[in-house]
A and B are shown apart, each in its own frame.
Chain A
Amino acid sequence: MPKRRDILAIVLIVLPWTLLITVWHQGAINPLLAARKASPWHHHRIHESRRDSRNTFTLKKPCSAENNKDIVEVVHTEYVYSRPPPWAAVLPTLHVVTPTYSRPVQKAELTRLANTFLHVPNLHWILVEDSPRRTPLVIRLLRETSLNYTHLNVETPRNYKLRGDTRDPRIPRGTMQRNLALRWLRETFSSNNRHSQPGIVYFADDDNTYSLELFEEMRSTRKVSVWPVAFVGGLRYESPKVNTLGMVYGWKTVFDPHRPFAIDMAGFAVNLRLILFKPQAYFKLRGVKGGYQESSLLRELVTLNDLEPKAANCTKVLVWHTRTEKPVLVNEGKKGFTDSNVEI
């Protein structure tokens, strides 16, 4: 009998203590744990930021190993909702990705591009500089246009850059910048409810010419839409071949028409949902033959049957692959005749 009583006593003593400890555990330990979790992350972020020059909004999610090697980036986002173009909640947003790099005509190109974009409603300009830092010229330009923009930058490592200005078609230019924009889009939009953010992604180089009609044509893209582009492939224009059913079955080009997607960067647009749905799809950086860059992305996204022809079944030219001449600056001489403080 005393034994049972002893056992009872022990149980009665131990039980409340375990209950108390449990309750206290739940209430107190968790905040402690959270604080402890934050500090190793914070530490990691500081370590990362030493590589970058400036951090306003660092990407936290772990990058894939391949990208980590190539990309050292600084991300800065500014949304400027002010004067026209108006923003309608109903229209899908056009995310226009433009890689750019510093050269004498850069400000001129971006100025007239901005003048075009100011006419397009619900346009979000993602400008990616090929530069280790965001340059003051572009910062000021973007701020003055009052467009809705995101300013990114990533420098192409020297062995991928074109040597001088010779056009070597084997090394694709702007690839890392476009990939960074794709990654930014995936980081920014994946966490939200996809149905509330319809968007179209378009790759617009800074020296091409775009008609306003083009942007309205691409807005109805469900997967990937295509249209003719002027002055590419050594032709007046290249265009997809469309059959009587309104489906794309081939490419009307002279330069390698058997490419999976014989189309220029300016000749297609992708629905944002598809970009988010296939997070591994990027432009291939290494080992891409001339003219195959677009295919390297599109083949991971869509098949030929899924392409939607626009511009009246690909019979109208709404975008021109213009190229600006390199200005002759012979009179600058070695020391520079003009004041370098004046920005051009």
Chain B
Amino acid sequence: MATRMKLKLKTVFVLYFMVSLMGLIYALMQLGQRCDCAEHDMPKDRTISRLRGELHRLQEQMRKAEPTKLPQKLAVKPAQPTIYVITPTYTRFVQKAELTRLAQTFLHVPQLHWILVEDSPHKTPLVSGFLASSGLAYTHLHTPTPRDRKLQEGDPSWLKPRGAEQRNEGLRWLREDRRGQPGADTQLGVVYFADDDNTYSLQLFEEMRGTQRVSVWPVGLVGGMRYERPVVEGGKVVRFHTGWRPSRPFPLDMAGFAVSLKLVIANQDACFDGDAPMGFLESSFLQGLVTMDELEPKAENCTKVLVWHTRTEKPKMKREEALQKQGLGSDTAVEDNDPTHLQAL
């Protein structure tokens, strides 16, 4: 019995010894190797690395796509109507800022010609320099507003219509320029009156490009309301939704319509009446050109606001004036001028 047990024990020993030896060898072999780290990775890290891989792929794709895109962009579409934007402007502190951000919008619009008309007896260096470096196709004009029509210091902005003479000057130049070039193609274009303090979306310009006679759309933040708009039924303008004097022939804002170049040239005498009563400036121009049912509604049947009648605050210059009196004003050589301020001196 004892020997059998002893034998049994011996085999147990041997067995155990072999097992432990094999376990030791296995553990030693595992020592140098990399572990399977999938469990240690956080799922977020995995997502990040996957996204990065995708990112690089997409960037590569984009880089490959760019060279083929460019020729398409540069290729000028044949006979795409040019948009002639007539902007009256006048010297004041915020003028350069307004023109800067206006130009930044216009630079995105293809086939745009900017007609900038200064309310001034001569071209100012600020505007000349600005236009030259803007990168836009432009025409720089100027015409002063007669003193009796001009807003005086302290007048509310709505007292007298502004910019009429300048817009007329723009129209005059345009008509004269086209007169020297007869031909159907040169009459292809759209005229838009854009004030320098409004805000324009890029979509607006594409909407107006197809104007045949006069197209209209809503304007935001005008007429004492969130927006003013023509009311469209059956694809035609039937009336105007406005809170201020809706009985006007065309209760629109200057930024709410565009006229085809053909119509402008065909009606050589159509212009803005500087003596028109408040709010009738647009009507004075449009009355001879078109009737309400001929208007072409844009911006999804006049339901989308693509232009806003923003106005910029006059910056407070109290400290500047105080400094000037002491002879310590900020350097006027740094461009940022305002003639009324100089007159005060």
Cβ of B101 within 8 Å of any chain A Cβ, yes or no, is: yes
Query: Known contacts A211-B100, A324-B312: does B23 contact A235 (CB below 8 Å)?
Result: no
Interface hit among B178-186, B223-231, B274-282? B223-231
Query: Known contacts A81-B62, A344-B305, A344-B308: does B19 contact A209 (CB below 8 Å)?
Result: no
The distance from the CB of B242 to the nearest CB of chain A, in whole angstroms, is 8
Whether B319 and A337, one on each chain, are in contact in the complex, defined by CB atoms closer than 8 angstroms, is: no
Interface centre among A109, A111, A315, A336, by most chain B C-beta atoms within 10 angstroms, is A111
Using Cβ atoms and an 8 Å threshold, which residues of chain A touch B336?
230, 236-237, 317
Whether B199 and A112, one on each chain, are in contact in the complex, defined by CB atoms closer than 8 angstroms, is: yes
Closest to A232 in B: B315
Tell me the bound Cα distance from A260 to B330 in angstroms: 21
Cβ of A250 within 8 Å of any chain B Cβ, yes or no, is: no
Whether B97 and A320, one on each chain, are in contact in the complex, defined by CB atoms closer than 8 angstroms, is: yes
The listed residue (B13, B30, B39) touching A34 by CB distance below 8 A is B39
Cβ of B50 within 8 Å of any chain A Cβ, yes or no, is: no
Cβ of B235 within 8 Å of any chain A Cβ, yes or no, is: no
Query: Known contacts A9-B9, A15-B20, A322-B97: does B317 contact A105 (CB below 8 Å)?
Result: no
The distance from the CB of B6 to the nearest CB of chain A, in whole angstroms, is 10
Tell me the bound Cα distance from A233 to B310 in angstroms: 23
Interface hit among A48-56, A94-102, A326-334? A326-334
Whether B313 and A324, one on each chain, are in contact in the complex, defined by CB atoms closer than 8 angstroms, is: yes
Whether A332 and B225, one on each chain, are in contact in the complex, defined by CB atoms closer than 8 angstroms, is: yes
Cβ of B238 within 8 Å of any chain A Cβ, yes or no, is: no
Whether B20 and A234, one on each chain, are in contact in the complex, defined by CB atoms closer than 8 angstroms, is: no
Whether A236 and B93, one on each chain, are in contact in the complex, defined by CB atoms closer than 8 angstroms, is: yes
Whether B93 and A9, one on each chain, are in contact in the complex, defined by CB atoms closer than 8 angstroms, is: no
The distance from the CB of A315 to the nearest CB of chain B, in whole angstroms, is 7
Using Cβ atoms and an 8 Å threshold, which residues of chain B touch A230?
93, 97, 315, 336
Closest to A315 in B: B334
Cβ of A212 within 8 Å of any chain B Cβ, yes or no, is: yes
The listed residue (B39, B62, B220, B244) touching A344 by CB distance below 8 A is B220
Using Cβ atoms and an 8 Å threshold, which residues of chain A touch B243?
331-332, 337
The distance from the CB of A46 to the nearest CB of chain B, in whole angstroms, is 16
Proximity string of chain A (234-258) to chain B, C-beta cutoff 8 Å, 1 when within and 0 when not: 1111010000000000001011000
The listed residue (B23, B107, B226) touching A329 by CB distance below 8 A is B226
Proximity string of chain A (80-117) to chain B, C-beta cutoff 8 Å, 1 when within and 0 when not: 01100011000000000000000011011101100110
Whether A327 and B221, one on each chain, are in contact in the complex, defined by CB atoms closer than 8 angstroms, is: yes
Using Cβ atoms and an 8 Å threshold, which residues of chain B touch A328?
224
Tell me the bound Cα distance from A231 to B93 in angstroms: 8
We find that the number of chain B residues with CB closer than 8 angstroms to chain A is 70
Whether A342 and B23, one on each chain, are in contact in the complex, defined by CB atoms closer than 8 angstroms, is: no
Whether B24 and A322, one on each chain, are in contact in the complex, defined by CB atoms closer than 8 angstroms, is: no
Tell me the bound Cα distance from A271 to B154 in angstroms: 45
Whether A233 and B23, one on each chain, are in contact in the complex, defined by CB atoms closer than 8 angstroms, is: no
Query: Known contacts A231-B93, A320-B97: does B319 contact A19 (CB below 8 Å)?
Result: no
Tell me the bound Cα distance from A258 to B341 in angstroms: 28
Cβ of A338 within 8 Å of any chain B Cβ, yes or no, is: yes
Using Cβ atoms and an 8 Å threshold, which residues of chain B touch A16?
16-17, 19-20, 23
Interface centre among B20, B58, B66, B241, by most chain A C-beta atoms within 10 angstroms, is B20
Whether B317 and A104, one on each chain, are in contact in the complex, defined by CB atoms closer than 8 angstroms, is: no
The listed residue (A22, A23, A105, A234) touching B318 by CB distance below 8 A is A234
Using Cβ atoms and an 8 Å threshold, which residues of chain A touch B132?
none
Cβ of A65 within 8 Å of any chain B Cβ, yes or no, is: no
Cβ of B152 within 8 Å of any chain A Cβ, yes or no, is: no
Using Cβ atoms and an 8 Å threshold, which residues of chain A touch B218?
342
Cβ of B266 within 8 Å of any chain A Cβ, yes or no, is: no
Q: Which 5 pairs across A and B sit closest by C-beta, in order of nearness? A: A16-B20, A331-B243, A234-B319, A331-B224, A320-B97
- A residues lining the B interface (CB < 8 Å): 9, 12-13, 15-16, 19-20, 22-23, 26, 30-31, 34, 60, 79, 81-82, 86-87, 104-105, 107-109, 111-112, 115-116, 118-119, 209-212, 228, 230-231, 233-237, 239, 252, 254-255, 315-317, 320-325, 327-332, 336-338, 342-344
11 A-B pairs with CB atoms under 8 Å apart are A9-B13, A15-B20, A23-B23, A30-B40, A31-B39, A81-B58, A104-B221, A234-B319, A317-B335, A322-B98, A338-B225
